[in-house]
Amino acid sequence: MLVFVDEREIVASGYTTSFGREGVSLTAFFPEEFHDWVNSAGASDLEAVEAFLIGDCRDRNQFSKIIRQRSRAPVIAMNDAPSLEHTLELFACGVDDVVRKPVHAREILARVDAIRRRVQITQDYATVGDMRVFFDGRDPEINGEVIELPRRERRMLEYLVTHRGKRVSKAQIFNAVYGIFDENVEEAVVESHMSKLRKKLRARLGYDPIDSKRYLGYCLTC
C-alpha cells in the first residue's frame, strides 16, 4: 500500500486510479487528515505502507520529520514545477527522492524499489527454495520457469517472502494488498486468493510452501 498526500482531490483520484491499474493500493489523504492519521495509526497499519508520496500541500517540508517518527518507509516528494532551490530544500528536510510530475505510476514504483534496495542492500528478487520471487512486478519463477499469477496473488506472495519466517495475519496481508481504508473489499477475499495461490504453487512445487493456522495467519515455510 502507498500513501499519497495532496490538497487537490482530482490529483489524488487520478493517482489512485493509476496505481490501481498496476495492482497497487494507494490511499490518499488531505494534509490535515494525514497529520491526524500518521500520529494515531497503529503499528500494523504503518507497517503496511510501502512508501509515502507527498504532493502539493502547505508545510510539506515538515512531513518527512513527522513520518520518520513513526515509519522507515521511503518518502518521495512530487513537484509540479520544481526549482533547484526547492528540490535541495526538500532533500534537506529528509525526503528520499524528488520527482517531477507528470510521472507514471511504474516509475514511482521503480524508485521505491531502488530506495529500499539501497537501504536494505538487497537484490530485486529473493530466492526461496525452488522459487525466485521478484519485487519489480515480474511474475515469480519456479525451477527457472515463469509461473503467471494475477496481480493480487503475486502481491500476496511478495508480502509473504518479505516476511519470511514470520507468521502474518489475514488483516496484515489485506492491509498491504488492498489498503487499510478499502471498505469495498472484505478481508475474506484474502482467503480466496490465498487458496488459489497455494494450489498453483503446490502443483508446480509438489508441496505447499505456505503454512496456515486458523486465527494466527500464514507463514512461508520453505
DSSP state of 168: B
pLDDT at 20 > cutoff 70: yes
pLDDT at 171 > cutoff 90: no
Cis bond before residue 82 (omega within 30° of 0): no
Average pLDDT value for the chain: 87
pLDDT at site 183: 59
pLDDT at site 119: 63
Domains of the chain with CATH codes = 2-120 (3.40.50.2300), 125-220 (1.10.10.10)
> How confident is the model over 178-220, as pLDDT tens digits?
876 665 567 788 899 999 999 999 999 999 999 999 888 999 9
CA-to-CA dists, residue 146 to 1, 133, 166, 192, 201, angstroms: 25, 10, 26, 22, 12
Report d(CA 36, CA 33) in Å as an integer: 5
pLDDT at site 121: 43
**Phi, psi dihedral angles at 131 (to 5 degrees):** -105, 145
Dihedral over Cα of 37, 41, 45, 48: its sign: positive
pLDDT cut 90: percent of the chain above it: 44
pLDDT at site 147: 95
Q: Are strands 2-5 and 26-29 parallel, antiparallel or unpaired?
A: parallel
pTM of the model: 0.61
pLDDT at 158 > cutoff 60: yes
Model confidence band, residue 29 (pLDDT cutoffs 50, 70, 90): very high
> How confident is the model over 43-87, as pLDDT tens digits?
878 888 989 999 988 888 888 888 988 898 999 999 887 788 888
